[in-house]
Structure 1
Amino acid sequence: MKIEETLQLAAETAGVGTWHLTLPENELRSSPRCREIFGLSADAAFRYEDFLSAVHPDDRALVEAMVEHALDPKGTGLYELDYRVLYPDGTVRWVGGKGKAFFEEQNGQRVATRFIGTVLDRTERRKIQDALIEAEKLAVTGRLAASIAHEIRNPVDAVMSLLYLIRSESSETKRSEYIEQAEGELSRVAEIATNTLRFYQDPAGLTTFDLADLADTVLNLFRGRISTSRVKVQAELPRGVFVSAPQGELRQVVANLVGNALDAMPTGGRLILRIRKFVNSRTGKQCVRLTVADTGIGMSPEVLARVFEAFYTTKGAAGNGLGLWLSLEILKRCGSSMQVRSAVGRGTVFELSLEGAEPKIRS
C-alpha cells in the first residue's frame, strides 16, 4: 500500500475528510468522507462552487475571507476555521477546517498553486461548547449580581443614615443638605440599575456603538470595588470611536477582564483602559484596539501559555477557568482577536482587536 493510501485510510478511519484544490483553475478533489461531512453521498460530484454553496449563508463571507487570506502570497498560507454548513434537507452542522496553501514563483511573483486541507464534523463538540458558554454566562450573571448587590448596598446604607439624621436635625439648612445628599445616593442606585440593564437588553448580533460608552458602563459597575481597593484608574477613552460587535457579549468580555485585573491587585495598583485606532496592515481595514492592563501580580510563562484553556484556573475554588476561554470564543465568533502579555510582579496587558465602524445615522 502506498504512503498516500495509508494516510488516506487513516484519515477516513478517524472521520477526517480531505480535500485538494488546484489553482487557479479551482479544481477541487475531495475524499468520500469530506463529501459526507457536507451532507452529500460519498460518490457525489463536489466542486469548489458546491463547497461555497454548502457553507451557511451567515458564515460564507467569513469563510471566503479566510480562504483569501490563506492564498495571499504575503501571508503564511495557513487556514483554520470553524463554520456552519447547510445540508440539502436544511440540517445545520458545524465543520472544523484546516488547510495550507503552497506557492510557486511565476514570472517573478509568488503565486498560490495548491491548497490542501482537512475537514472534521464538530457539531457535537460545538453543542458541548455552547452548553459551557451558557453555563458560564449564568455564572457571570451570578457574579455580577453579587457585585451589583454590593454596589447598591453602600448608597442605600447612606440614604438610611441620612434619613435618620434628617429626622433628628432641627436646622432647616442641614436638613436640606442631607436631603440633597440622599438624592445623590439614590441617583447612584438608579445609575447602577441602568448600567445593569444594558448587559441584558442589547440587541442580538453585531451592532455599531461607541466603545467608550461600553467601557464607561463597565467601570461604573466596578466603581465601588475600585474605590475600596486602592486601585487608581487610568482611562484613555476618546469618544467617537465606533466598533461593530455583539455589544452585550463584548461588555461581558470587558467586565471579565476588569474583574480579573482587580483580583490581581489585592493591595492596590493601577488599572488602565485605553482605546486606540489602527489600520490592519494585512487587510487595510480600520480597526480599534481596546487595552485592559493592570500593575498586579502578573503571570508566569507556564500560566500564560494556558491562560485561554477551558477549566484552567489559578484561583482554586474561587474560579472555574471558563472566563477567559469564553471571552476568546466570543471575540473569535465576531472576527475579532485578543492577545495577552504578562510578567510576574509587573502586571498583565490584554489587547482586544476589533473591527472599526462608521456610526449609523438614524433617520
Structure 2
Amino acid sequence: MDRIQLHKINERLEFINELILDVAYRQSNEEVLDTALKKIMEMLQIDYGYVVSYTEIDKTIRNVEIQCNLPDGFLEEVINYRFENILVRDSIRDSMKKEVSIVSKEDLSTPYQKYISKKYGFETMIIVPIGFNDVFSTILMLLFLRKEKDNILEYVPLLETIGNTLWVLLHKQKIYREYQNNIIRTEKLKVLGELAGGIAHDFNNLLTTILGFSQIVLTRELSEDIRTFIDIIYKSAIDGKRIVERIQSFNRKQLGRSKEVHLINLIVESGIEMARPRWKHFYETHGNNLIIIKELKSNSKIYCVEHEIREVIINLLSNAMDAMEQGGTLTIKTYDEDDKVVIEISDTGPGISDEVREQIFEPFYSTKGVNGTGLGLSIVRDIINAHEGNIKLKSEIGKGSTFKLYFNKYIEKEDALISFDSDTDINLNLDKEVNILVVDDIPQVGNTVVEMLKTIGLHADIETESTKVIHRLLQKKYDIIVCDLAMPELNGISLSQQVKEKYSNIKFMILTGWPERLKKEDHNSIDLILRKPITMEELAQAIKNIL
C-alpha cells in the first residue's frame, strides 16, 4: 500500500471520527441525520441529498426524514408514488439492503424514473442503506448532476461504514428517548403522588361522613327499596375509601390490600348497578338507545379485593359507553373456562386501531383528549396483574371491541367474609360506662364519629378546638380520646403528649389518612392509630382493643 492510499484511508478514518463526535450528542434523529447528510454532501461534493423511509409491505414512502438542496417540486412528485417506481430497479432495491448501490441514468428502467432524471438533471445516484426491518426501511439518497459512477466507487466502503455508524447512533437515540420518556413518566407519577397527598385528607373527611351515616341508617328499620339505595351508597363509600388508599400508595409504595372470597357474578352485578345511572342519564338526555345484554353464567368465586374488581368492571363499562356515544349494544358475560373465571365486556363502537392498542394500557395514554387522564386502563391492568389474572383485547375497526378478563377460580369451599349490614352485631356490651371525647376541627366529621360511637353503645362528645381539650378534661372524666392528626394550632401528636403528661390513664387514639408518615417517637404518647375513613366495625374493634 503506497503513501497516497494510506493518506486517503487516514482522511476517511478522520472523517468517520469527526462525524461520530459531531452527531453522537445530538438530541434527536433529525439532528443526527441532518448533520451527517450535510457532512457527506460536502465531502463528496454532492448536489442533492435526502433521507427517506418507506414501508416494506407496499413500498410507499413513510416519511422524508431530512433533505438538503433538493430542487422545488422534487419531493412533491416522488412522495405520491410507490418507492420502487421512482428511482430504483428491483435488483438494485434488493441489493441495497446489504450494501451501498451506485446507479447511473442508464440504469433506470421505467418511463417515470427516466422522466424524473431528465426533469431534475441528475446523472448519478448513490443509495446508502441505514436501517431495515420487516416493517419499514431507511436509506440515504445522494444525487449528482454529473456522471460520477466510476469516480465514486472508491468511497463505497466509507459510505457503508457511515450507514452502519448512523444505524448504531440512531439506535442509541432510541434508547435515550425511551430513557427520557421513563424519566418523564416517573416525574408525572411523582407529581400525581404529591397531588394525592394534598387531596386525600379532604376526601377522607368526606368519606368518613358518608360511610358513617350510611352505616348508622342501615341499623334502622327501612323499607326494602330504601335499604337497597343506602346499601349502594355504603358500598360506594367503601370503594372510595379503598381507592383513596391506593392513590396514597403512589407515595408509600405499598398497598393495604385485604383479599376475600367473592362470587364473581355479585361483583359484576354491583358494578353494572353503579354504572347504570351514568348511561341512563347520558343516553336518555341525548335521545340515543343503549341495549344491555347480560349473560352471567358463571357460578364461581374468586379470591380478590372486591372493590378493585368492581372498579375494573366500572372502568371498562365506562370506556364502552364512551365508544358508543350514538348508541349501540353493550354485552356483559361471565363464564367458566377450565380453571379460569372469565368476564367479557363487548361494545359495538368504532373499534381500536393497532397503533392505539399497542399503547392503550400505558399510564397517561389517552384517546379522549382533555376528557381523559390516561390512567384508567393502566389501573385496570395493574389491578388484574395484582390478582394474578390476565386481560386480552380483541378489536376490529368498524365492528367494536371486546375485553376478556381471566381470573383463577377459587376452588376451596369457603364463604366470603360478610360485609356490614343491619344484622351485624357491633354492640360491644361493655360492663361499664365508657366516655369518649372526639376531637376534630371539622364538625361534620367529628359529629359523624360521635354518632357512630353512640350507635355501637358508647357515650361520646365532640370538641372542635384541640387547645380546649385539657380544659374539657377538668370538667368531665373521659376514658378515651379520639383525635384527628391534622389539627390547627395544636396537632394530634402534640395534644396526645399534653394529655398523657397530665392524665396517663386516658387512652389516646389518632385518626389519620397517612399513618405511615408518623415518626417512631410520635407513637410514644399514642395508644392506637386508625386510618381514615373508618367503618363502625373498625371503630368498634379499635375500642375493644384499646380497653
| Class of the TM-score when normalised by the shorter of the 2 chains | 0.3 to 0.5
Higher relative contact order (CA 8 A, sep 6+): 1
Question: What TM-score, normalized by structure 2, do the two folds share?
Answer: 0.31
Greater helix proportion: 2
Greater strand proportion: 1
